Amino acid sequence: MARPVYRKYVYWLEADEFARLKRKLAESGIIPHQAKKAVCVPLAWDIEVGYVPAGSWDRYGLCKRQLSWHAQSPYAGQVLLVSSSPMKGLAPTCVITQRKKFKPPRLPNGDEKLALLSRPSYKESRPQVWEDIGAEDPEQQERWMRVMGIRGKKFSELFIGHCATHANFIAPAYYIEEDGLRVPYSLGKSLEICSACLEYYGIIGGQHRRKLVAPCPGAVLFAGLAVNRFYEVTCPGAAGDGCYDEKD
C-alpha cells in the first residue's frame, strides 16, 4: 500500500489557545506528542499531532545556537503545533508538502555565498548568538557533526553554507518563478544545510507565500524527511513573495 502524500500543517498558538485545543483533542482520543529530543520531531510521518512547548526552545542542547532565531521571531513565547490534518477553525501559518521533483537551477559558489552574508538584509536579521560559533564549545560542534553523520569537513566551512541558505530565504538571490511568485530554495544538499526547521515553521522566510526547503541532517535523522529532497512550504497568510532590499 502506497504511503499517502506527505503533508503537515503548522500552527503557532498562544498558551491558552493551545490548552483549549489540547483538551478538545483529548476528548477525541488524540494525545499530542511533545517534542523532547529536537524541534523537528513533529515533522515525522508517524506523528499525527506534535508540539513544542512555549519557552522550551533553548532547552534543545544539540541545536541551541541554531534555535536562537526563534527567540527574536514573532513566535517567541508561543506553542508550535504541527499536525498531519488541518485543525478545524484554525488558519495554518505554513503547510508543508513533499515536492515530487525539483532541482535547483543554480547554486552559489564560495564567493557568492560570502556575498549573501555581506548583504544588509542578512546582517540585520541574524541573531548575534547564531554567528558566534567561536563561543561555542568545539566539542559541541564535533558532537553535532557526529550525530548528523557529517565527516571530512570542518564546521567553519559548513557554517558559511548554513548562513547562505538562511540569507537566501530572508531576501532571495536564488529562486525560481512560479505562478507569478518568486520562490526561494535551499542552497545545497541536506549535509550542507542547518536548521531547516526555521524555514519549515516560518521563523525565517515567513514572508514568502511559497518556498522550497531541503531538510537538514537533523530533520532527516529525527523526523525521517527524505534526504536531499525538497519540500514545498506555503504560507497562506504571507503578504507576498518576500522583501528584496538588494539588487538580485
For residue range 173-220, list pLDDT tens digits in order.
999 999 999 999 999 999 899 999 999 999 999 999 999 999 999 999
Type of residue found at 155: F
Q: Is residue 122 part of a domain?
A: yes
Q: Looking at the structure, tell me whether residues 124 and 222 fall in a common domain.
A: yes
Same domain, 27 and 122: no
Q: pTM for the complete prediction?
A: 0.92
pLDDT tens digit string along 105-123? 999 999 999 999 999 999 9
Among 163, 208, 218, 209, CA closest to 187: 163
pLDDT in single tens digits along all 248 residues of the chain:
567 889 999 999 999 999 999 999 999 999 999 999 899 999 999 999 999 999 899 888 778 889 999 999 999 999 999 999 999 999 999 999 999 889 999 999 999 999 999 999 999 999 999 988 777 677 777 776 777 677 777 777 889 999 999 999 999 999 999 999 999 999 999 989 999 999 999 999 999 999 999 999 999 999 999 999 999 999 998 876 544 545 44
Looking at the fold, whether 117 and 202 belong to one and the same domain comes out as yes
Is 117 in the same domain as 222? yes
Is residue 207 within 8 Å of residue 125, measured between CB atoms?
no
Would you say residue 82 lies in a domain? yes
Q: Which pLDDT score is estimated for 246?
A: 57
Residue 245 lies in a domain: no
Residue 88 and residue 121 in one domain? no
Query: Is the separation of the CB atoms in 174 and 107 below 8 Å?
Result: yes
**Per-residue model confidence (pLDDT) at position 62:** 75
Range of the domain at 83: 7-94
The answer as to whether 101 is a domain residue is no
Q: How far apart are CA 79 and CA 223, in angstroms?
A: 19
Quote the number of domains for the chain: 2
Burial class, 197, CB count within 10 angstroms (exposed 0-12 / middle 13-18 / buried 19+): buried
